[in-house]
Amino acid sequence: MDTHQFLFIDFEFTMPERGTRIKGFYPEIIEAGIVSVENHRVLHEFSSFVIPERFPQLSNRCKSFLHIKQNQVDKGISFYELVEKMSEINEGKPCTIVTWGNMDMKVLRNNCTLAGVPFPFKGNELDLSMEYKRFFGDQNQTGLWKAVQEYGREGTGKHHRALDDALTTYKIFKLVEKDKKYLQKAKPTTIGDRVDFSKLFNHYA
């Protein structure tokens, strides 16, 4: 991670009531958590509720599932302020954006397009859940908190809180990277390394 910015990002989104269809509905970001890391050091943490533009009233399902209250979101920043903040954090530098799953960046891109604002990040995107799946050979994608518990650890704070989930994503990233280094193939040993020929010759002398 030397001299390179990593942004660990998690968003929470709006969702409709189960079994209902709302014309024109699309998921909107209502909470953002961002952790900026350089040289193995956390440089910046950002957390905020975000006011949805198109459908500002949260569904009961959304409030229940995410444990977010309407008045918390109502006091949040606008989506435009969020995009501006993300641009400031990125500082226009190439970076690696790390998320658990691919929905966060899909929703952000869609929200930016519909709001008529440019996508705020420049850099590569890493879906850590797929990296985790490939690394451990799992058939199915593992949930964020299940993954950290499989490492014998606990997630940071509360699940489905954006900053806590971003910090937990960073925690898993460090664990996976450590395992990758550990499992890198060492230089193959020669037969001379494995057999002490002096002892062998003495045995038959």
Q: Could you give the residue numbers annotated as active site?
A: 12, 160
The residues pairing with 46 across neighbouring beta strands, listed in sequence order, are 34
**Could you give the 3-state DSSP secondary structure of residue 68?**
coil
Contact between 160 and 168 under an 8 Å Cβ cutoff? The reply is no
How far are the Cα atoms of 19, 131, 164, 180 from residue 134, in angstroms, in the given order?
A: 34, 5, 24, 12
d(CA 95, CA 6): 6
Nearest CA to 99 out of 6, 4, 2 is that of 6
Contact between 16 and 61 under an 8 Å Cβ cutoff? The reply is yes
Which two three-digit tokens encode residue 52?
A: 């949805």
C-alpha radius of gyration, the chain, whole number: 23
Nearest CA to 161 out of 16, 32, 37, 71 is that of 32
d(CA 102, CA 195): 51
